[in-house]
Structure 1
Amino acid sequence: MVNAYGGVIIVADVLLLFLKIIFYLFESIYRFFVPAEEKSVAGEIVLVTGAGHGIGRELAVRYASLGATVVCWDINQEGNEETANEIKKQGAARSFAYKCDVSSRDEVLETAEKVREEVGNVTILVNNAGIMPCHSFLTHTPEEIRKLVDVNLMSHFWMLQAFLPSMIEKNHGHVVALSSMAGIVGLPNLVPYCATKYAVRGIMDSICEEIRQISPNKINNIKFTTIYPYMVDTGLCKKPKSRFPNLLALVKPHEAADQIISAQRRNQMEITIPSYWLTVSTFVRTLPYKAILQVIDFVDSGVEAES
């Protein structure tokens, strides 16, 4: 009798699971045509790492124009202050500049405490800082690999440890992480870089699920968004190559920033830039391995080794 009752419960759970899957499939289709409304970021405290140039600068300026208080972090003090001053000239919102090496846990925690005392609790964290040396794997020095891992990967751990606790305490916050299409597709001349960007995807997927399971009824207003941009014209990618340069052109920093902020404001969990790459990548990965290689050779997109 007990076994029969247990069997009925399992069958009921399976039916309920299918109903939920169908519901969320239709919801996803609906949201494809009718995107969620963008939430306001006015009054939020947004911290952007790597704010001294490129996407980071565009993100900082754009968030400020939307009424957020912006905290700029960069190891490049001059560029970082230029970003903060550009925001101040616009008069749109408050901005603060802090020099910080995000690869150093001690420096991250020390600077984070300054931000709490001088600005307040960060409510939107954008982990954007990164470096991108382009060499064949065997020509990377051990020091270069360590630095790349520290900046592109370890910094995410230190930033989360510094700012996630206050988000959990207040049940309010959003973490945005910049991965890359190189975090979805492995590329030659970018082996350590790809490794770090794949790892960022793992961090974000797992921390999102961990927070969801801590207390689903109490902590449900902390969101996570992972971004996978194609090559962005910021100067990091010095020798891009593409068989179809018009179709696969470098993404402009301001275009990337607009799509990143839109994804964050709509609480999207992940996006590629351009958006179609996520669908293309998902489809291609269903193909046999040898067929995938034919697609890679046909597209012939990536980076050449730096001399």
Structure 2
Amino acid sequence: MNFLLETLRLIVLTIYYHIEAFIKVIVPQRKKDVSGEIVLITGAGSGIGRLMALEFALLDVSLVLWDINVDGLKETAKQVKEKGASRVHYYHCDCSDREVVYRVADQTYKAFLPAMTDKNHGHLVSVASSAGLIGVNGLADYCASKFAAVGFAESVALEMIAAGKEGIKTTIVCPYFINTGMFAGCGTKWPRLMPILEPDYVAKRIVNAILKDQVYVLLPRSLYFLMALKG
């Protein structure tokens, strides 16, 4: 009997979430107000991290910027202040060193999550890659790390739902190649279907997704179609 009830519950929830997702696609979602919130951005010394900081600078948040590049952090802090941000703090932090992370602040997933769950409030954003969704020839090690990042973020999101922590939102970002130094020299066989993405566009899409509590951000949009074909 329990098996039948659980199966029925699964079917009902699946239908419900599909309908909810469809409605969110066709009905514009209101953006949440993040003024006064604390926004921590890792890798804020350059690239997408800096561009996201510049976007958030317009939203009256307290910015906490982390990077291993101190000069880059100083430049980002200068730029966000010029954009109007009044509460800006930056710290040298090597996010690959757990002891450094804990010493700089009580942060990252492991260190942040207990405080978030206590307050049932927060938003976790993981920037992974399209290589975390689809295997790529010649990129086995890179794909493995990105699949792990996506799987970890999805698992944390499900744990929050199971724990009844509906106030903690998650966003998982999976972009294709971005026109930054990391992908210098990379090309694409299908520029119309899978174009090289511009950093400013990616940063704006990420911030917009956070404000709308969007769970997945696949860039470019054609990735949604490719994922459907994969399924």
TM-score under structure 2 length normalisation? 0.91
1:186 aligned residue? 135
The alignment-based identity, stated in percent, is 36
Unaligned runs of 5+ in 2: none
Aligned to 1:162: 111
Q: Structure 1 regions of 5+ residues with no counterpart?
A: 1-5, 114-121, 123-158, 287-307
- Of 188, 207, 211 in structure 2, the residue corresponding to residue 261 of structure 1 is 207
Deviation at 1:189, TM superposition (A): 4.1
| Cα contact 2:194–2:220 (8 A) shared by 1 | no
Of 40, 55, 59, which residue of structure 2 is paired with 1:62? 55
Q: Show the counterpart of 1:34.
A: 27
- The answer to whether the Cα contact below 8 Å between 2:127 and 2:172 also exists between their aligned partners in 1 is yes
Determine the C-alpha separation between the residues in 2 that align with 1:112 and 1:10: 45
Are the aligned partners of 1:173 and 1:221 in contact in 2 as well (CA < 8 Å)?
Answer: yes
> Quick check: 1:41–1:63 contact (8 Å CA) kept in 2?
no
| 3-state SS in 1 of match to 2:94 | coil
Structure of higher CA gyration radius: 1
Q: Aligned to 2:155, which of 206, 209, 218?
A: 206
Find the aligned partners of 1:183 and 1:107 in 2 and give their Cα distance: 27
Deviation per CA, 1:1-42: give whole Å up to 9, x if none. Answer: xxxxx4xx7656655554443333322222111132111111
Query: In the alignment, what sits opposite 1:51?
Result: 44
Aligned to 1:237: 183
C-alpha distance in 2 between matches for 1:30 and 1:211:
23
Alignment-mate amino acid for residue 57 of structure 1: R
Indicate the residue corresponding to 1:282 in structure 2.
228
Please give the secondary structure, in 2, of the residue aligned with 1:51: coil
From the superposition, tell whether residues 245 and 22 of structure 1 become closer, same or farther in structure 2 (CA, over 3 Å).
closer
* 1:111 matched to 2:60: no
Query: In structure 2, do the counterparts of structure 1 residues 15 and 184 end up closer, same or farther at CA, with 3 Å as the change threshold?
Result: closer
How many angstroms apart in 1 are the aligned matches of 2:152 and 2:17?
Answer: 25
Q: How far has the Cα of 1:66 moved from its partner?
A: 1.2
What aligned pairs does 1:171-182 form with structure 2 within 5 A after superposition? 171-182=120-131
Instruction: Report how far residue 222 of structure 1 moved.
Output: 0.6
Q: Please report how far the alpha carbon of residue 279 of structure 1 lies from its aligned counterpart in structure 2 after TM superposition.
A: 2.5
* Superposition deviation, residue 246 in structure 1: 4.4
In structure 2, what is the equivalent of residue 197 of structure 1? Answer: 146
Secondary structure of the residue that 1:48 maps to in structure 2? strand
After the TM superposition, which parts of structure 1 deviate over 6 Å for at least 4 consecutive aligned residues?
none
Contact 2:57 2:81 in 1 (8 A): no
Instruction: Flag the 1:10–1:67 CA change in 2: closer, same or farther, 3 A.
Output: same
User: CA shift at 1:180, angstroms?
Assistant: 0.1
CA contact (8 A) 1:178 1:228 kept: yes
The structure-2 alpha-carbon separation of the partners of 1:23 and 1:212, relative to structure 1 and needing over 3 Å to count, comes to: closer
C-alpha RMSD over aligned residues: 1.9
1:270 aligns with 2:207: no
Q: CA deviation at 1:212?
A: 2.2
1:246–1:107: structure 2 CA closer, same or farther, 3 Å change rule?
same
Shift of 1:171: 1.1
Q: When the two structures are aligned, how many residues end up with a matched partner? A: 231
CA distance in 2, matches of 1:69, 1:223: 19
CA shift at 1:182, angstroms?
1.0
Residue 282 of structure 1: how far off its partner (Å) = 2.5
Deviation, 1:273, is 1.1
TM-score, scaled relative to structure 1: 0.70
Task: Note closer, same or farther for the CA distance 1:60–1:239 as it changes in structure 2 (3 Å cut).
Answer: same
